[in-house]
Amino acid sequence: MATLLTIAHLLLFAAVTLRVLARSDMLPTTRVAWILVLLILPAFGVLLYVFVGEISFRGPARAAHRAAEAETGPSVAASGERPSLERYGVASGFATSINGFGPTEGNRGELLDSPAGARARMIEDFDNARHSISVLYYIWLDDGTGRAVAEALMRAARRGVRCKAMVDAIGSRAFIKSETWAALQAAGVKTAVALPLGNPIVTMFQRRLDLRNHRKITVIDNAVLHCGSQNCADAEFRVKPKFAPWVDIMMRLEGPVVRQMHLLLAQDWLCCHPGELAHFDAGMEALPGGFVAQAVGTGPDVRHGITAQLFSRLIYEARRELIVSTPYFVPGETVCEALTSAAQSGVDVTLIVPSRNDSGFVSRASRSYYPRLIAAGVKIAEYRGGLLHAKTLTIDGATTFLGSSNMDIRSFDLNFENDILFSDPALTGKVRQRQMAYLAESTPVDPEAVRAWSVPRCIWFNAFAVVGPVL
């Protein structure tokens, strides 16, 4: 029996190893990481690959997403047109290639105070809504913010506004069992749960169980959009209080870009409620004097590696200055090379990350990149005022990329994300001022201290980075 088990294990090991070597969608570093795991943890490594090795998204869930995308297909994607690279830039063209949302002109935006100010502004828009409110949140907690937003939705529903509320099955797992969620449904708010686990055994053969809908979208009357990094939760984030406050950034937008983001939300909604596209109203016309903006939606249903490529394309646009804030920094080779290349080209590159992270794995893996970045001239600062959760990228004080996407492997390959790319010096200047406020509460990472790290410490950080692509 022992001999048979050994032979079976060797055959499984060989099969998984050959599968890893045969895949064309895997970076060499990821292949090496998997082969190391299979060698070091023979039996567990095979099981791990079965559960998380393939970023699969197939079966009924995939079919529902494809049908929703076909039903909501943007005109740019349908016509095959691409934006003028001379007018809007190569990064905009690349963003358009992801899901067809091209640059729109005539948008207006407002950088909101966060978090209480952002919540108050959104609830004010809810109370002024006349036709519809649609929300999608990765995390919705049954706390002060969660209940205030829910009560505003219920007030709107009771006066005849069509209200839709969608949450992620894992991120909001406690909320969908709460009395507040039941009260929303009783008040007439239509609800949906993204990526439900159902029977985990069956689901596992259709997709990775840890694929998540990480989006944060709020649309009022299809005329006003609230988006950014903030979940529907208090800044104290009581599920992880020792890392609080969560420091987020939110924007309020008007104009044609609102329609794009609403269509992105509609794609997720139609997966749970097919045939309800008619409930998503027509979009706004361009506003006089507005700026250029486009919505970007990424996830495991688009081309593999596309988010990392988009970040890299944006980084390469910088000519003078690039400022990045992200709570989770595990950039992988593609984005790391873009950051170091930009700095070596003379661009003033600044990276702001939290000093303390709620993910110990990410905290260690991110520091493995410090020596390379610092050697290239990237300035790194660690934020002390809580968990810096704002995901921002500003380019030359004129262009901003902002939303739900982190600079990590989960956002690159596993999460459904939503972001806004816009070009406007005035509004970008306000985002940059917010980034400067983050810097003022941060401690610069000392290049000499990093260069003096001991060998064991480097090995420790690098070990987490090596395993990162596996998870």
Catalytic residue chosen out of the listed positions 216, 234, 301, 358: 216
All residue ranges of the chain with pLDDT < 70 are 1-2, 4-6, 8-9, 13, 23-29, 42-45, 47-48, 50-87, 276-284, 468-471
Polymer length of the chain: 471
Does 391 participate in catalysis according to the annotation?
Answer: yes
Does 9 participate in catalysis according to the annotation?
Answer: no
In contact, 43 and 37? CB cutoff 8 Å: no
Does 389 participate in catalysis according to the annotation?
Answer: yes
Biggest CA pair distance of the chain = 78
Does 396 participate in catalysis according to the annotation?
Answer: yes
Q: What distance in Å separates the CA atoms of residue 24 and residue 430, rounded to the nearest whole number?
A: 42
Give the per-residue pLDDT at 260: 93
pLDDT per position as a tens digit, 42-96: 666 676 676 666 666 666 666 666 666 666 665 443 333 455 555 677 889 999 9
pLDDT per position as a tens digit, 90-125: 889 999 989 889 999 999 999 998 788 999 999 999
In contact, 298 and 417? CB cutoff 8 Å: yes
Question: Residue 227 is encoded by which pair of tokens?
Answer: 């988006």
In this structure, are strands 442-444 and 379-383 parallel, antiparallel, or unpaired?
A: antiparallel
Does 221 participate in catalysis according to the annotation?
Answer: yes
Give the per-residue pLDDT at 133: 96
Q: What distance in Å separates the CA atoms of residue 459 and residue 471, rounded to the nearest whole number?
A: 19
In contact, 159 and 131? CB cutoff 8 Å: no
pLDDT per position as a tens digit, 440-467: 999 999 999 999 999 999 989 888 887 7
Determine if the pTM surpasses 0.85.
yes
Q: Residue 329: left if φ>0, alpha if ψ -120 to 50, beta else—which one?
A: beta
Please list, residue by residue across 100-111, b when 16 or more beta carbons sit within 10 angstroms of its beta carbon and e when fewer do.
bbbbbebbbbeb
Angle, helices 28-40 vs 455-467, to 10°: value is: 100
In contact, 262 and 280? CB cutoff 8 Å: yes
In contact, 203 and 365? CB cutoff 8 Å: no
Does 379 participate in catalysis according to the annotation?
Answer: no
Q: What distance in Å separates the CA atoms of residue 74 and residue 79, rounded to the nearest whole number?
A: 9
